[in-house]
């Protein structure tokens, strides 16, 4: 008898059909993976030439010059590496967690700049450095990074998604 369920032969008679969450969650994770990867690629690309990224890191006045330069040069590469891993769906849970932690570090930096009365552009998508007090957007920058952090946390908590190397390698079914 044809029940119209094309996957019935894959389930045992007493196994219930997947819940709505089990059906939707992988697609939500895929959307978060692709969305966060796009953000990280944009952030990495707009930080070039590296002198702009270094200028943005130095504007926070948190690190000695040599450390700020190291961060300025390597941050775009780190963002790009995270983005590529998200797109590939490789080590998804860990990359989601690392992305969420990176956003938390960005939020802490912005809060620090705001608390110390600095008037800077966050440098998140290029630019960076000193700006007029009325040109700071700390609240908006923090809210945006909280949303990106939530996407990374979602990926870390529910990493199973289609079109992922993790799935092809049998890490998540």
Distance CA 150, CA 28 (A): 12
Name the nearest CA neighbour of 33 among 86, 106, 94.
86
Q: How much helix, strand and coil, in percent to the nearest 5, is found in the chain? A: 65, 5, 30
Residue 117 backbone zone (phi > 0: left; psi -120 to 50: alpha; other: beta): left
What tens-digit pLDDT sequence spans the chain (173 residues)?
444 444 445 556 788 888 998 999 999 999 999 999 999 999 999 998 888 899 999 999 999 999 999 999 999 999 999 999 999 999 999 999 999 999 999 999 999 999 999 999 999 998 888 899 999 999 999 999 999 999 999 999 999 999 999 988 888 65
Residue the block writes with tokens 């930080």: 47
Q: What is the pTM of this model?
A: 0.87
Q: Sign of the C-alpha dihedral, residues 141, 142, 143, 147?
A: positive
């Amino acid at each position: 008898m044809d029940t119209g369920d094309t996957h019935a032969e894959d389930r045992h008679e007493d196994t219930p059909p997947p819940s709505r969450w089990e059906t939707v969650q992988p697609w939500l994770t895929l959307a978060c993976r692709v969305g966060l990867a796009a953000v990280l690629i944009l952030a990495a690309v707009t930080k070039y030439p590296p002198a702009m990224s270094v200028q943005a890191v130095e504007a926070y006045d948190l690190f000695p010059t040599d450390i700020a330069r190291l961060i300025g040069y390597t941050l775009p590469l780190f963002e790009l590496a995270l983005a590529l891993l998200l797109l590939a769906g490789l080590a998804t849970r860990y990359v989601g967690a690392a992305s969420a932690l990176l956003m938390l570090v960005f939020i802490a930096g912005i809060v620090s700049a705001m608390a110390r009365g600095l008037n800077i552009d966050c440098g998140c998508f290029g630019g960076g450095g000193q700006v007029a007090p009325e040109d700071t957007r700390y609240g908006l920058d923090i809210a945006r990074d909280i949303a990106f952090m939530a996407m990374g946390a979602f990926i870390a908590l529910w990493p199973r998604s289609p079109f992922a190397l993790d799935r092809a390698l049998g890490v998540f079914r």
